[in-house]
Structure 1
Amino acid sequence: MSEDPLEEFCKIIEDKCENQDGEEHDPNFYKQFVPASDITKLATKDAVIEFLKLSKGDVSIELEKIAKKVVTDAPKVFLTLVCIGSDSFIRVLTHPLNDEKLFYHETQVSSQATTKVYGKVNGEWHRNGRKPSQLKHRDGKFIMKLSEHNNFYDKHWIFQAPIFESDNTELMYDFFWKQPLPYLVPKNPFLIDSGFSTVRKTLVHPDHYKFETSYNHCSKKIEQWPNSPEGMNVAVKTLRANTNKESGIDTEKFYEIEAETLKKMRALKDPHLIRSVAIYKRGNERCFVFPWAEGGNLDDFWRTYEGERDDGLIRWAIDQMLGLFGGLDELHKENIRHGDVKPPNILHFSNSSSQLGQLVLADVGLAKFHIDYTKDRQKITSTRHSTEDYEPPEPLDKQISRYYDNWSIGCVFIEFLIWIKSGYEELCNFRRALEYDDEKRKRFWKRKFGIDMDAFVHPEVDIWVEKLRWLKYPALYDLAALVRKSMLVPDPNQRGIFNKGLLNKFKETCATLTLNKGKLSPGNHSKAVHVAEDHADLDPKPETESSTQSFTRNASNLCAAGDNLTDSWYRRNFKNVCRLMDFEQPEWELSRNVDELKGSATSCALCQFFCNCLPNSLDGRKPITLYRHDASYSLRLSPYGRSLITIYSDPSTLTLSFLDPWHKLTRLTDTKSENQPYSSPGLPRLPIIGSVNQYQLFNEWIRTCDNNHDCFPKAGTSRKLDSTLPTRLLYVGSDQIRLVEPKNMAQQAYVALSHRWGDRSTHSQFCTYDANIERFRTNIPFTSMPKTFQDAVKVTRAIGVQYLWIDSLCIIQENKDDWETESSRMEDVFSSAYCVIAATSASSSLEGFLNYRQPRPCVTVQAKEGPLHLAKAIDDFHDDVEHGLLNTRGWVLQERVLARRTLHFTSTQVYWECGKGVYCETLAQLRNHISQVLALTSLFFTICSTQSQFLGDSNFPYSSLEYYRDERIRLVQHLYEFYSTLDLTRDSDRSKAILGIETRLARFFKSRSHYGVFERSFHRMLLWQAKSPGGLTAIPQPKEPSTRTPSWSWMSCTGKIQFMDITFGSMTWLEILPGSISSDNIDIRTIHAEAHGLLPEDIESMDGVVLDFEDCRYNRETWKCVKLGHKKLDDPVVAAEHYYILLIRPRSDICSESFERVGAGRIKHSDLSSEKTISVEIS
């Protein structure tokens, strides 16, 4: 021992305390405690003897005997005494006081003393008094000083964390409100508040639970309670106290009923029913503890599944449905009703012994309270919204029966089967079809108008059950038909109950499922099961060569080998009216309305196809006529409407040699059928995403561009890359991905990724920091990367490139110097990239872009001159890319503009964009030809039409602006206007996120530029306005003047802007002097000018002026204006009647001589004061 053994020992105990940082989370939930194993290690016989010797008291006692008893019966008492620095060790420890029978006696020192019992007797806490003030022994004598006793009471709680044990058959506990629970902060904390309760993910310390790790039931195993050295992840559900009386729920009664239900479920030991870890009260808290389902819930599984869709998946799904069916049957035998069966209440335990995990029914306690819980939906809509989706039609004011659960589980099974067939996206479409109000609530049934009780199953359910008939596994349809016939019956009296007969019939139906050896379709969610071929979900190896051979093989190879356009999915007979249609006519009269088409969709492939292609907003009662538009090879609802259906010729004769860029038509026509000139060459069905065929198409696009275009500079030509490689790159040319710094490396091809980071408050970011950069230089595990990064690695390898640039990994985050340096190099990074991968439809780096996409509806019809293949029109670069999710971000604009070539991954298809146009995955080419643009007479239409061509210029802006010598600045203004509509996470990035574009434009114009203003168009570029008067917001500026954005620049504020429409060559510009524009300093932060006073009493009198900010308060005495110019006219007097001006006011944050801009516009000469002008500085 040291000189102060007590202090040293206290420090050791303090170090053993868990949750010392609990204040950073929830201090009431994460209270400090000493783990059980540490209590044993600390309270040793030697330690007790040592402190007994130091204690004041009778030293003649048998120390060895006392120490042995303390270690056995009172280690917590001993450690508490150490913590409070007590000198009463002998006096306390020699009395028969132990950890399990602490007896507190409370008395007040004042004259009006009261006596209260407050403590733990026979293992239970008694709460009938206030904080005790002194500890007595049985003989009534005080065994501790009053001050020591108070400290003892406060300190002993850290040793009172309970142990959850399976020996407690009911797993019910009653804790004192101050008692800590053995909870630790988990790696990924989770908390959700449903209004009535909260559910929190937490970690139980490994010393504080003792459970079997598995149990057997029905020859199945489930590991709901896995052992782990870090502890056990659990979900703690805490009921709110009776503070929300509006909900009509008695929390205490709810707790008692759910506790009773969970005890019964635990006794059942069914692997598909949740088993509680603990049920406890602590003060006013009423809590239930369950094992944490690492796989989330059933809906999470459907949404995120990326494995193979093979017979193993179907076997697992059927097994789980049987298990859930059986588990619910077990509940019903115990006279328990679930009352809230839905995918979110079916948990997915991915850590079970099954490879795909185990599905477990949870949240059963709601059943008894279901009726009360739904009486006032307006008050608790947030907690009942999803529950209503799976409710049956019967009134809610009746006792819940097993019939109720029957309907709900039937709904879940129908969704399960839809997911098996068509994947999550199609399941979402099915759910949307069930929506019945503006709140997007859905249900599986409808009512006939005017008849409250006459309910019927939603027609969409029957449509999908019928779709299942055409699967290659008929038993799946039989299963769906059984669910529909026996469970989804609106009349509860006719609805089959969960009895042995129905359960056996369900098992028999599942047993007839005969599975083939082949896979259903590749991973990434799912694809329609009728595609029966096998395509590997390619993760190309690092050494994969770029496909550079002449790609003249049949383009139909890009279609799946077994994905024949006349496969069994479309072999059903057409209805007579469809069979008699003349598909050669320019107008296709369907002779039916939308409602009639939907009614025929289950039995006619063509009717179903039309339903999939027609807009939802169409009048359901009006007969439909489709108009053929030969120039676009499409069918439209009107001759000038939008294309709905694309008409293709036979793709088996199609070759890819037509990817030569020099075709003059907007779509490629050199291989079109002579007999069917209205049909387009192309692919009605797209390659499987991430497949070999799709990667071959990418390589062919690149090869064609490399060989025939001048988009990317080639070695040995006059055009060459004049920039160096980025500071850092990811090397992906081997299995070991790493961060490299190519300082002295020869020029290498690299790919750049353009992507959305995602909401940083909800998505964890995978980034390079100073703390991990050394580790990343050695290895970045592929599996640790978010999915968008993984997909970028796959595509980079597939096109034969070994280096990849990703901003969050190649720029050191939270390093200001590195960020400033690298953000200024964006022009070089993207313009020097071999090509850019744009994750256009991904909302975050976690989402990825090689994901399942909804199969394109298509059908084959027989025309007189041969078959025609009809497919839903999807070639829409404007909506898919330019209005896509990615391109709403400010930083992305310059990434797209500066990129020479880009692969845009959208939710419908992939587009290749280079300087010669846009190529679609359907093999169509979309292009705005410059010659066509110049022929337009409307300047406004010209600018809008050339936006895609301008932004897609591979040598931006040279190729585009060469054709606009006089009005090229108009395109730049339009670019800035568009940029002002985009989003930025940090408003202060407004001037930085477009710096690369501005630098490139300045070089083109041979003009200095700063903050969006070019020297050669200085006056014109200053005349910007808020698109909506007062619609801008000033961006807070730093105090350092050298880092401020000047107020005369639109980059100093957020919001949409527009430039004043001033005809070129029509103006006489007046002299103003930008602060340093004539010097060598390009940083023009100030403008020097002569300012005029104003005469109008209010701003409304100057109707040609637009204020920047809504909160501007006009002051005639202090506000000034600076004249920039006036119209050129023969009569100089008339010309000077109106001036284009900047409106300014004195700055309040710098000095009285400095002014700031507050608006711009055109005013009359008569509005100007005749007083002498003053010299001002605008900053």
Structure 2
Amino acid sequence: MAVECDWMGNTKPFSGFSFLPLDALNEVITPNIVKAQLSPMDDFNRIVELSKKIFAILGFIEAEERIRDLFKDGLRDEHLPLKIIGGTQEYNLLISSGARCRGREFRSFSKWRDIEIEYFVRRQWLVLAPVFTTRGEHINIDGDTPLPLYDITKIAVTARATVYSGILHAAHIVPRPTHHIKVAVKHHDSLESFHEEKGTLTKVQALKHPHLIQYIATVQQGDLSYTIFPWANGGNLCDFWRSYPNALPTRSFGTFLWCFQQMVGLVDALFALHGVNCRHDDLRPDHILHFNDQDNSSVGGTLVIAFFHHAARHRISSELRHDLEDTRASSPVYEPPEATSYEPRSRRYDMWSIGCIFMEFAIWLLYGYDAIEKFRELLRDQESPPSQHGAFHKNIEGDTIIIPPVVSRGFDALRNDPRCAKGTGLEGLVSLISNDLIVIDPKGRANAEISRVKLREIVQKAEKDPSYLIKNVEAPPKVPDVFGGEI
């Protein structure tokens, strides 16, 4: 009962791989099954304990009776996989390439026909799918070793990787979960990009921050390389906004508080990331994932920063650097003004991006996702070079950079909304975004530590006094024209 990868012609790296799940192996290979192939004098319990996979392989090729000779020769599961060595005269000599017993020879195959040995070597891979025992571990496996994945579907292609969804079999996870786990599998186009991202993810993993992505494992399968992540069942932040398109009546106090708590968490995650001399460098709503532990009728779960393929680590203080780093993100919308300059980048690079995201968050809270779309459309319509298309900043008269009128109108609209009255948490959020985050000069931009302190103060006050977050009004005001309302 091998499980075959459902690759549907579009998941080439996984095509042709099948595996026998460990729970199925344990169900099929029992002492009674093995005993039926042996004499009463044979130690069938020891065979089940030490050579269960060997017996299963023999079952695949209908040669179960040969377990006695192989077991006497010392062949155990730990010796797998086996490889054929030598020339034609030693074709029936197999050698272990298992990690613990590499190089051990087994001459008990000397009486086998060549075709039988080929079948054995080919079918052994069915029982060799790895087990993931530690979150964030790295696994090196042979190019023929299957991953314990099935129902694999291609979902995205990026500049340096292809991303698939799939199901990770529960029997290959320790401790075993109650059900199989849906995962995202990133197949890297090159080992260089794989090792680059792996280094960053290892540092992120060590932080153990609930708002930073924690990967399940990295895998090198011959010349192929993968990173396996938990599946974000709520999609990304844009998906979340689209799921709740209307401003009212879904924006309850609980919704507002949860959103502010998530913003605190995201900034705290940046504070932790910056604390180990890393920048994300490509923050945008679709790089923030939503892990939802609530039912579809309520807002909840956790927003998590992911996609660290552009992340940069400072080997020396960025204030001393004068090189233009090749870390340009693929979209200019959330990039700060210094993204295209030759000035050294600081960790405040990320703070501009998170400010733009938080501005859209505030727009969504008050007016819904359609308002964000209209605001983005106006940003795209402004005259700007391709490197600033749709961005929250604009070049005028050479090197002079300004906040474009569309963004200024957006801030005015938010401040003038009666629900954003002076002294409310919402007013505090808008002030933080406009005065401290979306600031042209990075030296005048608030860092993650200052930003999280200000956001925490808002949340702490709101938890004590729910009316602090937003001013109640009898009827919501009209949507401002900058957000798609009628003029």
Q: TM-score normalized by structure 2?
A: 0.84
Find the residue that maps to 1:201 and give its secondary structure.
strand
- Letter paired with 1:104: K
1:342 to 274, 277, 284: 284
The structural deviation recorded for 1:355 is: 4.7
2:165 to 180, 183, 201: 201
Find the residue that maps to 1:273 and give its secondary structure.
coil
What corresponds to 1:468 in structure 2? 414
1:497 to 447, 454, 473: 447
The structural deviation recorded for 1:461 is: 2.2
| In 1: Cα distance, 2:175 partner to 2:414 partner | 44
What corresponds to 2:319 in structure 1? none
| In 2: Cα distance, 1:388 partner to 1:240 partner | 23
The structural deviation recorded for 1:106 is: 0.9
The structural deviation recorded for 1:277 is: 0.9
| In 2: Cα distance, 1:123 partner to 1:401 partner | 49
1:448 to 396, 400, 417: 396
After TM superposition, list the pairs within 5 Å mapping 1:927-1076 onto structure 2. none
The structural deviation recorded for 1:438 is: 8.7
CA contact under 8 A between 2:411 and 2:430: conserved in structure 1?
yes
| In 2: Cα distance, 1:143 partner to 1:458 partner | 81
Residue by residue over 1:360-386, the C-alpha shift from the partner in whole angstroms, topping out at 9 and shown as x without a partner, is 110123213994353xxxxxxxxx54x
Change over 3 Å in CA distance of 1:463–1:20 after alignment to 2: closer
The structural deviation recorded for 1:40 is: 1.0
What corresponds to 1:506 in structure 2? 455
Report which stretch shifted further, 261-270 or 352-361.
352-361
- Letter paired with 1:412: I
1:233 to 155, 165, 182: 182
CA contact under 8 A between 1:100 and 1:122: conserved in structure 2?
yes
Residue by residue over 1:684-743, the C-alpha shift from the partner in whole angstroms, topping out at 9 and shown as x without a partner, is xxxxxxxxxxxxxxxxxxxxxxxxxxxxxxxxxxxxxxxxxxxxxxxxxxxxxxxxxxxx
What corresponds to 1:901 in structure 2? none
The structural deviation recorded for 1:358 is: 1.2
1:426 to 371, 390, 393: 371
Aligned-pair identity in percent equals: 28
Q: 2:131 matched to 1:163?
A: yes
| In 2: Cα distance, 1:136 partner to 1:287 partner | 32
What corresponds to 2:87 in structure 1? 108
After TM superposition, list the pairs within 5 Å mapping 1:310-709 onto structure 2. 310-351=252-293, 355-368=299-312, 371-374=325-328, 384-385=329-330, 387-394=331-338, 395=340, 397=342, 400-435=345-380, 436=383, 441-450=389-398, 452=399, 454-469=400-415, 470-473=417-420, 474-499=424-449, 501-513=450-462, 514-516=465-467, 532-533=473-474, 562=475
Find the residue that maps to 1:51 and give its secondary structure.
coil
- Letter paired with 2:21: P
The structural deviation recorded for 1:255 is: 1.8
- Letter paired with 2:36: E
| In 2: Cα distance, 1:18 partner to 1:116 partner | 27
Change over 3 Å in CA distance of 1:498–1:421 after alignment to 2: same
What corresponds to 2:317 in structure 1? none
| In 2: Cα distance, 1:364 partner to 1:21 partner | 28
Change over 3 Å in CA distance of 1:278–1:431 after alignment to 2: same
Find the residue that maps to 1:472 and give its secondary structure.
helix
After TM superposition, list the pairs within 5 Å mapping 1:704-853 onto structure 2. none
- Higher-Rg structure is 1
Gaps of 5+ in 1: 1-15, 54-60, 127-134, 213-226, 242-251, 375-383, 521-528, 534-561, 564-568, 571-607, 613-853, 858-871, 873-1179
Residue by residue over 1:128-149, the C-alpha shift from the partner in whole angstroms, topping out at 9 and shown as x without a partner, is xxxxxxx942x79847443322
| In 2: Cα distance, 1:211 partner to 1:483 partner | 43
CA contact under 8 A between 2:375 and 2:484: conserved in structure 1?
no
CA contact under 8 A between 1:331 and 1:337: conserved in structure 2?
yes
CA RMSD of the aligned region, Å? 3.3
Change over 3 Å in CA distance of 1:39–1:431 after alignment to 2: same
After TM superposition, list the pairs within 5 Å mapping 1:190-339 onto structure 2. 191-211=155-175, 227-229=177-179, 231-241=180-190, 252-305=191-244, 308-339=250-281
What corresponds to 2:118 in structure 1? 150
1:50 to 9, 24, 36: 36
The structural deviation recorded for 1:155 is: 0.6
Change over 3 Å in CA distance of 1:20–1:283 after alignment to 2: closer
After TM superposition, list the pairs within 5 Å mapping 1:52-201 onto structure 2. 52-53=38-39, 62-63=41-42, 65=43, 67-86=44-63, 87-102=65-80, 103-109=82-88, 119-122=97-100, 136-137=105-106, 142=110, 144-166=112-134, 170-185=136-151, 189=153, 191-201=155-165
Residue by residue over 1:99-138, the C-alpha shift from the partner in whole angstroms, topping out at 9 and shown as x without a partner, is 1223534112079x9x9967222289x9xxxxxxxx942x
Change over 3 Å in CA distance of 1:116–1:489 after alignment to 2: farther
The answer to which structure has the higher helix fraction is 2
What corresponds to 1:34 in structure 2? 20
Change over 3 Å in CA distance of 1:159–1:89 after alignment to 2: same
Find the residue that maps to 1:163 and give its secondary structure.
coil
What corresponds to 1:1068 in structure 2? none
The structural deviation recorded for 1:322 is: 0.4
CA contact under 8 A between 1:468 and 1:476: conserved in structure 2?
no
Change over 3 Å in CA distance of 1:444–1:185 after alignment to 2: same
Q: TM-score normalized by structure 1?
A: 0.36
CA contact under 8 A between 2:268 and 2:452: conserved in structure 1?
yes
CA contact under 8 A between 1:496 and 1:502: conserved in structure 2?
yes
How many residues were matched structurally?
458
Residue by residue over 1:639-682, the C-alpha shift from the partner in whole angstroms, topping out at 9 and shown as x without a partner, is xxxxxxxxxxxxxxxxxxxxxxxxxxxxxxxxxxxxxxxxxxxx
| In 2: Cα distance, 1:290 partner to 1:147 partner | 40
The structural deviation recorded for 1:495 is: 2.1
Structure number with higher relative contact order (C-alpha < 8 Å, ≥ 6 residues apart): 2
Residue by residue over 1:1138-1170, the C-alpha shift from the partner in whole angstroms, topping out at 9 and shown as x without a partner, is xxxxxxxxxxxxxxxxxxxxxxxxxxxxxxxxx
CA contact under 8 A between 1:257 and 1:368: conserved in structure 2?
no
| In 2: Cα distance, 1:347 partner to 1:253 partner | 25
The structural deviation recorded for 1:193 is: 0.9
Change over 3 Å in CA distance of 1:503–1:148 after alignment to 2: same
